[in-house]
Structure 1
Amino acid sequence: MTTWFITGASRGLGAELARTAVAQGDNVVIAVRDPARVPEDLGKASNVHTVALDVTDSAAIPAAVEAAVRRFGGIDVLVNNAGRGLLGALEEITDAEARSLFDLNVFGLIDMTRAVLPVMRRQGSGKLVHIGSRSGFEGEPGVSMYSASKFAVAGISEALSKELAPFGIQSMVVEPGVLRTDFLDASSLSLAADTIADYDGTPAHATLEWAATASHTQLGDPVKSAALIYEVTAQNVLPTHLYLGPDTIDRLRVKLDQIHDDLNAWSAKSAATAHDDAA
């Protein structure tokens, strides 16, 4: 029986993934800041164990992992799902706002992964599933800091997939597009506290205007998305990236075209920057 440890699982994609795993008869550890917010159906399931955990509290993470191991004997899949968004032009975002975002989206993920890896190394197996974003392969206006945090997640996951292969541990980053969850609500999304009027009418503030009207009308279905994440994670071999959603696929094609154009324009001169004796 597979044991999952899912952070940020009180709602949204994390809760749907927990429901999917529970329905398949797997054990699920739900890590949430406030256990009172765990949905009733998950809280009552016999194969669910809830731990109170804020992943930005690095000192509290080892105890949560130990509680999971005591309850189910190990951890087969860690899903680093906890995270939030931050909108605003780069110039508008303060250091404090950016650091707070990275504390959750990046350092919380790092600390959780560090805590679980000894368990997985002892087992000789394990799967890391990091919830990134389509903003993790394409920087977009108005989401520079969020995008930076998800680029970091993608880079960490790719490196881990190589570092951990000798131990039988796999790593995958899931890069969803916009999902119809609470992510665009104030509970999950922060706006730069100080806006600059010069950005009105520019792409950065157009993103803010879109976010203000798009909540709960997003394209992606979190139930279907969770089902696909579960299906892929159940495979023997994980892909390095799971590109999730039609909008992600569309934007990935745009990104690939951009890479192709940039490469073709300068590849010859770029290759010529090697030392003459390198050949």
Structure 2
Amino acid sequence: MNLADCRILLTGASGGIGEQLALQLAAAGAQLLLVARQRERLEPLVARYPERIEAVCADLTQYAGREAVVEAVRRRGGINLLINAAGVNRFGLFEQQSDETIAALLQLNVTATLQLTQALLPLLHQEEQAMVVNVGSTLGSIGYPGYAAYCASKFAVRGFSEALRRELADTPIKVLYVAPRATHTAMNDASVVAMNAELNSAMDTPAAVAAQVLEAIAHERKERYLGWPEKLFVRLNALLPRLVDRALRKQLPIIQRFARGQS
């Protein structure tokens, strides 16, 4: 897709990766409708590119919020690119997480993503060329200690992307699944950064992730896994999961220590 011709709905625009996606897409000439719960977090983006960016305040976990987004899309004359980047992460041992935390994570990461995509598909079908981009995670392919609920949500997003791509194979709508590795965003607090440093696990900048997402969109990829050796681990986990089991078993004491707040 030609980025300059894209009319985009971007969720999660107030987050690290989402903000960089908005900035880089606007710089490339795209028109954007940004979604966040708090409008003031989007105002700096709108002020920087007032001719390219519009913001809408909406809670995507609520029907009224999704309807407000769909109506905003209609007012702008439709979209040809939907980027589902909204999401939340929670690091910690699964047995110590509350019912409310688990439910809220799945509601935003999975349910709201599916429901918003479904609501916008009729508008995407009206375009000669369109794309849905779902931002997942390496942890959507590798179950990782300390991230059980988050892994469950991203495994679901990956499966949804694969199924939807096949379901829309005879339409002009393409589906791209992008899986970043650990990234320096507000979702990863100081304890996660410290743990990754002790484990020698690299973390990307949001700007670097966004640039690779734009490249995947421009070349109409179906999937894009970011980072090495994470891409190798994804393949190993699919083919030889016991090797990954053994590797993560060695890391488990460190992960447990940080997850229990004993760093």
Instruction: Report which stretch shifted further, 26-35 or 251-260.
Output: 251-260
The answer for the alignment partner of 2:155 in structure 1 is 151
Equivalent positions of 1:119-130 (< 5 A) are 119-130=123-134
CA deviation after TM superposition for structure 1 residue 94, in Å: 3.2
The answer for the alignment partner of 2:204 in structure 1 is 220
* Structure 1 residue runs without a partner (length 5+): 187-208, 263-279
* Structure 2 residue runs without a partner (length 5+): 245-263
Identity score, percent = 33
The answer for the alignment partner of 2:36 in structure 1 is 32
1:38-67: CA deviation from partner (whole Å, max 9, x where unpaired): 252443411101010121112221221221
Equivalent positions of 1:1-279 (< 5 A) are 1-38=5-42, 40-45=44-49, 46-71=51-76, 73-185=77-189, 210=192, 219-235=203-219, 237-239=220-222, 241-259=223-241
User: CA–CA distance in 2 between the matches of 1:219 and 1:89?
Assistant: 21
Q: Secondary structure at the match of 1:174?
A: strand
Kept in 2, the 8 Å contact 1:184–1:214? The answer is no
**TM-score (norm. length: structure 2):** 0.82
CA deviation after TM superposition for structure 1 residue 69, in Å: 2.9
CA deviation after TM superposition for structure 1 residue 257, in Å: 4.6
CA deviation after TM superposition for structure 1 residue 68, in Å: 2.4
The answer for the alignment partner of 2:248 in structure 1 is none
User: CA–CA distance in 1 between the matches of 2:42 and 2:71?
Assistant: 20
The answer for the alignment partner of 2:260 in structure 1 is none
Q: Secondary structure at the match of 1:79?
A: strand
Q: Secondary structure at the match of 1:85?
A: coil
User: CA–CA distance in 1 between the matches of 2:45 and 2:161?
Assistant: 31
The code of the aligned residue for 1:49 comes to E
The code of the aligned residue for 2:84 comes to N
Number of residue pairs aligned between Structure 1 and Structure 2 = 236
Kept in 1, the 8 Å contact 2:46–2:55? The answer is no
The answer for the alignment partner of 1:193 in structure 2 is none
The code of the aligned residue for 2:59 comes to D
- Structure 1 residues 52 and 247 mapped into 2: Cα distance closer, same or farther (>3 Å)? farther
